[in-house]
Amino acid sequence: MLEMGSAEPRRFGEGRPLRPRGCARLSSDESRASVVCRVGTRLCAVPLDQVVETMRALAVEPLPGAPAFVAGVSIIRGAPVPVVDAAALLDGAATREVATRPGRLVTLRVGERHVALAVDEVLGVRAIPAADLRELPPLLGEARGDGVAWLGAHDDGLLVVLEGTRLIPDSLWAALALVEASP
C-alpha cells in the first residue's frame, strides 16, 4: 500500500506503534517474555508478568449471563475465578465445553483479581521480539475489547497476544462479586 505523497511501499504494521492503548510500550529492540499456549491449531501468548501459575484443567461451573467466551467459574486456591475459554475467545463463539476436553488453565493476575485462561497446551515461556508484534489493524479493532492486544508471528505462524486486563468485562466482575458474597 502506498501512502499519499510517498513513493515507497509500506509493509503491514510498519510505522504503527507497537502497543495498543493501555499496554506497556516496547521499543523495537526489546522482547517480551510471554507464556505461549496452543489453542486448537492456533498459538496465543500472555505476558509472563501477568501469569500466576499454570495447572491441569479443573471443573468449571457455568455462570448465567456471561459472554460466550467465558466458560464459567472454577474454584482455584479456595476462591471462585472466572474461566475464559481461549478457543471461544479466538473463534468468536463457544465451540466446545471446556470441561469435556483435556487441557490446562493459565491463571492470570488482573489487578487485584484473577482470571483463568483455558488452553489446550502450554508450550512454555518464550521471548517475543517487539519487532514481531503489530497493533491490530483498524478492521480488527473490536477484537481489542475481547482481550487481544497484539498480533505477531512465531515459527512462521500467527501468534495472538492476549492482555489479561481486557478478558473480563466489568459487568461480569460485578456478577462474580455477588457469587462470592452469597452464602
70-102 pLDDT, tens digit each:
888 999 999 999 999 998 888 765 555 555 566
Query: Which of 47-51, 149-153, 173-177 is predicted most confidently?
Result: 47-51
- pLDDT-derived band at 141 (thresholds 50, 70, 90) equals low
Question: How far lies 96's CA from each of 70, 100, 156, in Å?
Answer: 12, 8, 27
Per the structure block, which three cell numbers stand in for 90?
A: 479466538
| Whole-number pLDDT of residue 5 | 39
Strongest mean pLDDT among 12-26, 34-48, 157-171: 34-48
183 CB-contact burial (10 Å; exposed 0-12 / middle 13-18 / buried 19+): exposed
Residues in the chain: 183
Total Cβ atoms within 10 A of residue 134: 18
Tell me, yes or no, if the pTM score tops 0.75. Answer: no
DSSP state at residue 136: P
Alpha-carbon distance of 75 to 60, in angstroms, equals 8
User: Can you tell me the mean pLDDT for 30-58?
Assistant: 92
Among the listed residues 82, 111, 87, the one whose alpha carbon sits nearest the alpha carbon of residue 97: 87
Identify how many contiguous H helices and E strands the chain contains and give both numbers.
Answer: 2, 11
pLDDT at position 144, please? Answer: 46
Q: Please give the pLDDT value at position 94.
A: 54
Q: In the CATH scheme, what is the code of domain 31-181?
A: 2.40.50.180
Top-confidence residue, 25 or 131:
131
So what's the pLDDT on residue 182?
64
Amino acid letter, residue 170: D
Residue with cell 519487532: 131
Cα(110)–Cα(155) distance, integer angstroms: 29
* Spatial CA neighbour of 21 closest among 127, 131, 133, 145: 145
Using 50, 70 and 90 to split pLDDT, how confident is the model at 157?
confident
